[in-house]
Structure 1
Amino acid sequence: MVRVLFLRRRWMKLAGSGVILLAGMVFFLLNQKGLPVIAPSAPGELTEHLTTIFTARARALVNGNYEGLEAFYDATTTSGRFALNHEIGRIKYVQEWLQKRQVTLTGSHLDLAVVDSSSEGDKGWASVSQHLILSYRHQGEPQETVNRMGFRTLHWVELVKRDGRWLINRDWYWDPFETDDLKPEIAPGTAICKALPPPVKGKYRREAAVAYADRYSGVRLGPGDGRYNRKYRDFTGLGGDCASFASQVLSDKEAGGIPRDWVWNYHNGEGSQAWAQAAALVYYLLDSGLAVRLARGDFQEVTRSTSNYPYGAVNALQPGDIIGYEEGGELSHVSVVVGRDSAGYVLVDSHTADRYHVPWDMGWKSRTIYWLLQVVY
């Protein structure tokens, strides 16, 4: 994680210095079999090779078949092999998650922007923005059922030219799919509940909070989407923007409308620790009385039936509530609950990595500890 964060800062430094220029936009559709239908691509040899590489990777992620991906990586270097193995690992994770949760992918849409690219001799560099929308349904649901979840990843890619082809030597990005724990031991069919909990009364504007989260999730679902709210600084290069995004959802006048104070505040491009840091935000919400913790535990603990939560604590969450993610004893991420899919699975939005209507546990490990916070303001 430290390695990725350092390189992410490099990306943000490049962006802030004005180096990033719009070089081309490429749109894809992947059908149910994962075969790409590609619109006319932007000119440039490097861009064309990147288009081919990212299309093949998206196809492999969707259909689970990663054979042949090695053709796009420089396997003669340690960094090239690492990038390839990381990609294979995340594909395995996604396929295992789908199997454990009894979910079937039914289609996908890839929106790829090669934001900037350059080359010198046999070495190349590029910054790439990828929006991936996955359609899915739960097993047993009608064929016409469609749920959509979306991800945005920003890549800084180093390439090398071998035998006339550009190959990936390094690929740095915030990955929404963890790859070092590929066997989440979870019983199939758990954590699903269509029985909605009674609404929480209060001043918190939950519908507006969800609408804000969807609008500024960073994931492009159509024209005008795929942006952060420019009123706020992007803290991605300073450790992550997830807490700032959650703070916006909770407090912005267009969103939840919870009043800020001197501990939890944003002013002149700067956010307080409670505003911009995941653990500090969680503790602030609890200590201030703005939220209560329904449960803290691993997947099985927060989904099992108890006397207080017959359908599991996670199913007591309401749209606009907060989930914290603890790994290795550290609260490192927060997301915003935005609703449920057709089967009743709780969905979240977040920044870093950007997620839109993603199942709340997708991309996390079997060892992850979840903090379920209900806003009571």
Structure 2
Amino acid sequence: MKELKPYDREAAAAYAKKWALGRNKEYKDYEDWGGDCTNFISQCIKAGNIPFDHSGSHVLEQWYWYSDKERTPTWTAADPFYKYIVGNNKNNSQNYGIVARDADYNELELGDIVQLVYEGKAYHNMIVTEVILEGEYLIDYLICQHTSDLLNYPLSLKEGERRYVKILGYYGW
């Protein structure tokens, strides 16, 4: 049985805060090609110690970026990204790569993902960078995003239908 390896939530959130209002030159900026939000979120998750995944049978079951010409749609497009991260490891399948699931609002932690959806399809990704508590009570989350770049913006001010994704870790070799 494989061991579920940890997601470094703090590192993912730190990367998000560092690059929310700028661009890491090691990656292409997709702002002019439909938006950079998913590319940014993928970079954050990678910074959180989730390795590239080449193990699926086709590109929608893989997740990586080496260059604009050598990448998967799951790295840069919101809905394929969602289908990959929640579909990669279902029912304790222990596939290589990320393990994530749909979550409830009150389950989110640093480094988890919030998506805006329309008619069941994701069109935007954000990452949780702060959890705002008053004592034990959840008040709000702060998020970072690209495509209308935001740094530590209150999630409560974002309009639209939302979906929440909890990253549990990953399986490696």
TM-score by length of 1: 0.37
1:321 aligns with 2:109: no
Alignment match, 1:150: none
Give the structure 1 partner of residue 148 of structure 2.
353
Conserved? CA contact 2:115–2:126, under 8 Å: yes
Task: From the superposition, tell whether residues 363 and 347 of structure 1 become closer, same or farther in structure 2 (CA, over 3 Å).
Answer: same
Does the CA-based 8 Å contact 1:315-1:346 persist in structure 2? no
Structure whose CA Rg is larger: 1
Partners of 1:207 and 1:336 in 2: CA distance: 12
The yes-or-no answer on 1:213 pairing with 2:16 is yes
Work out whether residues 326 and 371 of structure 1, in 8 Å CA contact, stay in contact via their aligned partners in 2: yes
Contact 2:140 2:156 in 1 (8 A): no
* Residues 363/202 of structure 1: CA separation in 2 closer, same or farther (3 Å cut): same
Question: Which of the numbers 26, 31, 50 marks the counterpart of 1:231?
Answer: 26
1:265 aligns with 2:74: no
C-alpha distance in structure 2 between counterparts of 1:284 and 1:264, whole Å: 8
Give the equivalent residue in structure 1 for 2:164.
372
Identical amino acids, percent of aligned pairs = 28
Report the Cα offset of residue 330 of structure 1: 3.0
Please say if residues 322 and 373 of structure 1, whose CA atoms lie closer than 8 Å, have aligned partners that are also in contact. yes
Matched position secondary structure for 1:341: strand
Deviations 1:31-90 (A, max 9, x none): xxxxxxxxxxxxxxxxxxxxxxxxxxxxxxxxxxxxxxxxxxxxxxxxxxxxxxxxxxxx
Match of 1:291 among 94, 100, 108: 100
Structure 2 residues without counterparts, runs of 5 or longer: 55-61, 90-98
Distance 1:209 1:332 in 2: 21
Where 1:346 maps in the other structure, the secondary structure is strand
Question: 1:246 aligns to what?
Answer: 41
Unaligned runs of 5+ residues in structure 1 are: 1-200, 219-226, 295-312
What amino acid is aligned across from residue 204 of structure 1 in structure 2? Y
Query: Which consecutive segments of 4 or more residues in structure 1 shift more than 3 A?
Result: 341-344
- Rounded Cα–Cα distance in structure 1 between residues aligned with 2:6 and 2:131: 22
1:342 offset after TM fit, Å?
5.9
Aligned residues: 145
Which letter maps to 1:264?
W
TM-score by length of structure 2 reads 0.78
Q: Which residue of 2 aligns with 1:280?
A: 80
Paired letter, 1:267: Y
Match of 1:66 in 2: none
Residues 160-207 of structure 1: CA distance to partner in whole angstroms, max 9, x if unpaired? xxxxxxxxxxxxxxxxxxxxxxxxxxxxxxxxxxxxxxxxx9511111
Deviations 1:63-122 (A, max 9, x none): xxxxxxxxxxxxxxxxxxxxxxxxxxxxxxxxxxxxxxxxxxxxxxxxxxxxxxxxxxxx
Measure how far apart 1:315 and its partner are.
2.0
Aligned-residue offset at 1:228: 1.1
The residue type equivalent to 2:15 in the other structure is Y
Which protein, 1 or 2, shows the higher relative CO under an 8 Å CA cutoff with sep ≥ 6?
A: 2
Please state whether the residue corresponding to 2:16 is helix, strand or coil. helix
Relative to structure 1, is the Cα distance of residues 211 and 373 closer, same or farther in structure 2, using a 3 angstrom cutoff?
same
